Homo-oligomer: A and B are copies of this chain.
Amino acid sequence: MLSQPGAVARQLLQIARTNCRSASDYASASPRACPHTNTSFAHTRQFGSLLRPSLPIHQLKSTRSQVLSAPNQYTRALSGRPLPQRRSVLLNFAYRSAAIVGTGVGFVTVLFVAFFFYDSTTYKESASFGDCHVSEVALEPPRGGPKNLPIIEALLDDDENDNAKDKKQKPRLVILGSGWGSVALLKQLNPDDYHVTVISPKNYFLFTPMLPSATVGTLEFRSLVEPIRRILSRIRGHYLRGVAEDVEFSHKLVEVSQIDSQGEEVRFYVPYDKLVISVGSSSNTHRVKGLENCHFLKDINDARKIRNQVMRNVELACLPTTKDSERRRLLSFVVSGGGPTGVEFAAELFDLLNEDLTRNFPRLLRNEISVHIIQSRSHILNTYDEALSKYAEERFVRDQIDVLTNSRVKEVRPEKIIFSQKADDGSVVTKELPMGFCLWSTGVSQAELCQRIAAKLGRTQNNRHALETDTHLRLNGTPLGDVYAIGDCATVQNNSADNIISFLRGLAFKHGKDPETLELTFSEWRNVANAVKRKFPQAVSHLKRLDKLFEAFDKDQSGTLDFGELRELLKQIDSKLTSLPATAQRANQQGIYLGRKFNKLAHCAPGLTRNEIKDGDVDDACYKAFEYHHLGSLAYIGNSAVFDLGGGWGITGGIWAVYAWRSAYFAQSVGVRTKFLMMMDWLKRGLFGRGTCTPSP
């Protein structure tokens, strides 16, 4: 059998040679040697090698593919026509490129056509307006509650179909706010466990980390928002546009206000079984005068106002009637606050002015533009690793962004900002800066609703800046398992000492002992430490070497910890625990945590025996306490980005870091839609730059 292929090879070799001869016959006028000879012999060698039966299969494949290109020559010769000239490498390359590009373009075209087909199905002809059942109580809500307001016991779409009717029987979960915390929670919830109602003045979720980009037109506003109803549709939840004004904890009612079409305030109650407060925070004014002359950056509308103001100033500066000093003032942009928002805004603003304004505007403008950052601390990005904040400062110096550290704004006037700066020698000087635009981004303070709630709950709420919750995110001072608070508006109370002490007291009394005389052996201490870890997951990293701690705090070397020593130990751990940062990251994690817990609670409660629930704490019995995992911080600083990965690790870099920064947020964004839109926007920026229209479209 194997001799047969050998004959084939010989035959083929002969053909190749004949071929060659025939070619030279035709091309006899040419003095060159037959151009095919080399190729033919190459083939011969390959055929020879094929005779070896032990050839590995992958080699076989490659030789075969080479053979495949050969017959071209033989069939050519058969026609008796002149042989084609050997194709040049370039020509071959061109042919192949053309084929690949052709296929590629064809592929894209097919996608395009497919889209058109799909698109043509998205146009709805008139919907059939079938009858729609709405309960009487939804159309005419009864009045009640402490203020005798309408109580929304049923919603307009509660009886729309069978599914909605089923939902009416489920526990009512009311969520205040439509930010990071709420949306993370909504995305975790099972569709069928709760009757969910979101109450918020904004009917969309805003992707806040990218807001500075949107102010200058790098991103479209629409790419940053996701309608809350779209998010709610998966769990068939409801949305009411309104502002939560107060909560009646004993009646389980939220008081909501809404401005009606005549401009009058309407108030009503929304009942809840579980309430999640996630209303975020407001800007911190630090009681500075003249903040009405400043812009804030919390919302889409703020961003639009900023964009308009920046472009208006630039256009005014273009007019020859504008005085020189006035032009310089108009083009002096001040950012008050050197946190991530302020820094990113300054960087984006600089990009706009540097990349887009230099193109079609008078060059004079570029020379007169100045961007200033006023920061009260000694560094910008002071929550970041010091190396990173230094890198950012150097970058800004290169970009001629003026960083004024150790400076406190005293007053903002329409045409200037007055601030005091502490020099290195400790002396404080008051300075003035003429400005045409000021952004105020000096941190957050408590929203009005939270202030009202904190006042109502009195002694159980001791934090001036946020609502205090326990580690299960339940609002302190409210009935256990009724009210939760997450995101910027809340903080997790870390006083493990107080908590554990009272727990120990209870234990001691149970055993008929006086807590003051309680002595803990090492194994007892280990049990207590485990209880602490369970209740305060944030303390885990500080409770790693239990023996060392025991030794260190057992000051009288008694081999046991007495009550005082234990309190000292726990207090020291408390002091090490910092409060969680007011970031989107934390809100997101809390939302996810709460969503998972609610899913669990909806199903595990009936199966729990009485013994598993301690002190009526269903949450504790069902689900672990909340633990925050810091994933790092990142900031854009103008054609460059910094990443603080925690523990002293950080990355800085140029364009690639910018792409990485974008990727991080790209991955974080809510859904396919926003991802696609953001991608489109970056594409647009790359191709066409940012928009420089007034009023900004």
Q: Which of A290-328 contact B (CB under 8 A)?
A: 300-301, 311-313, 315-316, 318-322, 324, 326
> Is A646 interfacial (CB-CB < 8 Å)?
no
Q: Which of A116-124, A481-489, A494-502, A599-607 lines the interface with chain B?
A: A116-124
Q: Which of B100, B330, B362 lies in contact with A261, CB distance below 8 A?
A: B330
Q: Which of A204-247 contact B (CB under 8 A)?
A: 204, 217, 220-222, 224-225, 227, 229-230, 232-233, 239-242
Q: Which of B101, B157, B217 lies in contact with A107, CB distance below 8 A?
A: B101
What does the 1/0 interface line of A132-171 toward B look like (CB < 8 Å)? 1010001101000000001010111100100000000000
Q: Which of B126, B152, B300, B359 lies in contact with A398, CB distance below 8 A?
A: B126
**What B residues does A127 contact at CB under 8 A?**
354, 358, 366
Contact B75 A115 (CB under 8 A): no
For the complex, give the distance between the alpha carbons of A134 and B365 in Å.
11
Q: Count chain A residues whose beta carbon lies closer than 8 angstroms to a beta carbon of B.
A: 144
For the complex, give the distance between the alpha carbons of A75 and B62 in Å.
11
Q: How far is the CB of A586 from chain B (nearest CB, A)?
A: 25
Q: Which of A47-55, A183-191, A524-532, A546-554 lines the interface with chain B?
A: A47-55
> Is A616 interfacial (CB-CB < 8 Å)?
no
Contact A71 B74 (CB under 8 A): no
> Is A632 interfacial (CB-CB < 8 Å)?
no
Contact B203 A694 (CB under 8 A): yes
For the complex, give the distance between the alpha carbons of A258 and B134 in Å.
55
> Is A509 interfacial (CB-CB < 8 Å)?
no
What does the 1/0 interface line of A371-405 toward B look like (CB < 8 Å)? 00000000000000000000000000011100000
For the complex, give the distance between the alpha carbons of A149 and B445 in Å.
50
Q: Which of A76-84, A334-342, A464-472 lines the interface with chain B?
A: A76-84
Q: Which of A645-697 contact B (CB under 8 A)?
A: 655, 658-659, 673, 676-677, 680, 682-689, 691-695, 697
Q: Which of B152, B311, B367, B684 lies in contact with A677, CB distance below 8 A?
A: B684
What does the 1/0 interface line of A271-283 toward B look like (CB < 8 Å)? 0000000000000
Contact A261 B316 (CB under 8 A): yes
For the complex, give the distance between the alpha carbons of A118 and B78 in Å.
50
Contact A141 B320 (CB under 8 A): yes
Contact A60 B80 (CB under 8 A): no
Q: How far is the CB of A114 from chain B (nearest CB, A)?
A: 11
For the complex, give the distance between the alpha carbons of A436 and B222 in Å.
25
Contact B80 A2 (CB under 8 A): yes
> Is A555 interfacial (CB-CB < 8 Å)?
no
For the complex, give the distance between the alpha carbons of A577 and B691 in Å.
43
Mostly, the A contact residues are helix
Contact A321 B258 (CB under 8 A): yes
Asked whether A360 and B258 contact (CB < 8 A) given A79-B50, A119-B686, A204-B697, the answer is no
**What B residues does A399 contact at CB under 8 A?**
126
**What B residues does A71 contact at CB under 8 A?**
64, 67-68, 70-71
Asked whether A75 and B80 contact (CB < 8 A) given A22-B1, A104-B104, A362-B155, the answer is no
Q: How far is the CB of A357 from chain B (nearest CB, A)?
A: 10
**What B residues does A8 contact at CB under 8 A?**
11, 15, 74, 78
Asked whether A241 and B694 contact (CB < 8 A) given A53-B79, A71-B67, A320-B139, the answer is yes
Asked whether A138 and B320 contact (CB < 8 A) given A126-B398, A225-B691, A695-B301, the answer is yes
Q: Which of B5, B122, B330 lies in contact with A78, CB distance below 8 A?
A: B5
Chain B residue at smallest Cβ distance from A205: B693
Contact A354 B126 (CB under 8 A): yes
**What B residues does A122 contact at CB under 8 A?**
355, 685-686, 689
Contact A326 B261 (CB under 8 A): yes
> Is A24 interfacial (CB-CB < 8 Å)?
no
Contact B152 A367 (CB under 8 A): no
> Is A451 interfacial (CB-CB < 8 Å)?
no
Chain B residue at smallest Cβ distance from A684: B677
**What B residues does A359 contact at CB under 8 A?**
229-230, 233
Q: How far is the CB of A158 from chain B (nearest CB, A)?
A: 9
**What B residues does A691 contact at CB under 8 A?**
222, 225, 227
**What B residues does A78 contact at CB under 8 A?**
5, 8, 50-51
Chain B residue at smallest Cβ distance from A683: B115
**What B residues does A157 contact at CB under 8 A?**
361-364
Q: How far is the CB of A212 from chain B (nearest CB, A)?
A: 15
> Is A260 interfacial (CB-CB < 8 Å)?
yes
Contact A123 B156 (CB under 8 A): no
Contact A687 B695 (CB under 8 A): no
> Is A521 interfacial (CB-CB < 8 Å)?
no
Q: Which of B68, B315, B321 lies in contact with A203, CB distance below 8 A?
A: B315
For the complex, give the distance between the alpha carbons of A367 and B156 in Å.
12
> Is A35 interfacial (CB-CB < 8 Å)?
no
**What B residues does A687 contact at CB under 8 A?**
673, 676
Contact B124 A354 (CB under 8 A): yes
Q: Which of B4, B80, B241 lies in contact with A15, CB distance below 8 A?
A: B4
Q: How far is the CB of A63 from chain B (nearest CB, A)?
A: 8
For the complex, give the distance between the alpha carbons of A127 and B355 in Å.
8
Contact B233 A360 (CB under 8 A): yes
Q: Which of B80, B224, B225, B354 lies in contact with A53, CB distance below 8 A?
A: B80
Contact B697 A5 (CB under 8 A): no
Q: Which of B118, B316, B321 lies in contact with A268, CB distance below 8 A?
A: B321
**What 4 A-B pairs have minimum CB-CB distances, sorted nearest first?**
A104-B107, A221-B697, A157-B362, A229-B360
CB<8 Å pairs between A and B, sample of 14: A1-B25, A55-B79, A67-B75, A116-B659, A123-B655, A127-B366, A134-B364, A139-B324, A155-B320, A204-B693, A227-B360, A241-B319, A261-B326, A301-B695
Not counting A227-B692, A227-B693, A258-B316, a sample of 5 additional A-B residue pairs whose C-beta atoms are within 8 angstroms of each other reads: A1-B80, A64-B71, A156-B362, A160-B363, A261-B436
